Amino acid sequence: MREITYAEALKEAMCEEMRKDRRIILFGEDVGVYGGAFGVSRGMFEEFGEERVRDTPISELAITGCAVGAAMTGLLPIVEIMFSDFITLAMEPLLNQGAKNRFQFGGQGSVPMVLRTPAGSGTGAAEQHSQSPEAWIANVPGLKVVVPSTPYDAKGLLKASIYDPNPVVFLEQKLLYRTKGPVPEPDEDYIIPLGKADVKRPGTDISVITYGRMVPRCLKVADEFAKKGVDVEVVDIRTLVPLDRETIIASAKKTGKVLVVYEAPQTGGFGGEIVGVIADSDAFFYLDAPIKRLGGLDTPIPYNPRLEAQVVPTEEKISAALESLL
């Protein structure tokens, strides 16, 4: 199987579906001529033209409001918000209109839109361009939240998101854009359904449940522990909403020890929801130790690169947390 980057996988997903379905449009700040802030849509303006790939004014409120309206009237819009931090400016149309439309109209309406946005730290973009807002969004009924960790998952999940009748917030961790991974050829079409976790590394001694940028980091730590005879299972939940509770519970029951790892600040982070899923299930009676969370520090992201690196779970911190459970 060929290897392409995470960014290329996202572009392929959009282009392949746009060639099939003229209802799909892409718009956002600099997604056209410039090709997107991180180059994901490079070349799409030339292929699909300014009617289907549109540069917008610098107004996240207007961009998202237009997407909600377009989706309600039959189009399948994909919008790019340049940094996930700026979702704060789009909350009203996204949360109060898009997320609630199907409920308000008894399922007669739908808002099939995707809001793509780069999230997370690691690029030196400081405190207003480096946040991980997934917990803010996952708290809103009616929204779906997707956080892929590999090129394969990014492509398959984006295709599923485009046709979902609900608004989908698709969070792309910035440091993953240039990472490479196996992806089938374009003629081997595939879709990954939302709400299905993936066991990236089976194991029997301890479970690490994670998502996004922390997945490759946890896999690297798991490989190091394997050299010491410890078999670490790594579960990538992939979609926060809907959440695959069955896979999480099954992993906890199998190993009896669970570490939940996520990049966002630990207090109020989505990792607490994962802990709650296990504690509320019969997996609780299989545990040999308390469930442990390892989130980011409760601080804004610093600009200083050495400080920034220490705000989120590092390989050293993940290793230490695993050791404490073992």
Identify whether 288 is part of a domain: yes
150 and 66 together in one domain: yes
Q: What value does the mean pLDDT take over residues 249-260?
A: 98
Choosing from 154, 182, 210, the residue where a domain stops is 182
Question: Catalytic positions, please?
Answer: 129
At 146, list the tokens. Answer: 């997707």
Which H/E stretch holds residue 146? strand 144-146
Q: What value does the mean pLDDT take over residues 12-28?
A: 98
Identify whether 41 is part of a domain: yes
**Domain containing residue 206:** 198-325
pLDDT digits (tens, 9 = 90+) for 218-230: 999 999 999 999 9
Choosing from 131, 148, 182, the residue where a domain stops is 182
- What does the mean pLDDT of the chain come to? 97
For 186, what's the count of Cα atoms within 13 Å in the CB-facing half-sphere?
A: 12
202 and 178 together in one domain: no
pLDDT digits (tens, 9 = 90+) for 150-168: 999 999 999 999 999 999 9
Spell out a b/e string for 162-187, using b for 16 or more CB atoms within 10 Å of the CB, else e: bebebbbbbbbbbebbebebebeeee
219 and 245 together in one domain: yes
pLDDT digits (tens, 9 = 90+) for 188-208: 999 999 999 999 999 999 999
Are the CB atoms for 222 and 273 separated by under 8 Å? no
Interatomic CA distance for residues 136 and 169, integer angstroms: 11
Whether 101 has a pLDDT exceeding 90, the answer reads yes
Whether 1 has a pLDDT exceeding 90, the answer reads no
Choosing from 118, 151, 182, the residue where a domain stops is 182
Q: What value does the mean pLDDT take over residues 257-263?
A: 98
**How many separate domains does the chain show?**
2
Interatomic CA distance for residues 15 and 155, integer angstroms: 11
Q: What value does the mean pLDDT take over residues 116-138?
A: 95
- State if pTM tops 0.75: yes
44 and 165 together in one domain: yes
Whether 256 has a pLDDT exceeding 90, the answer reads yes
224 and 128 together in one domain: no
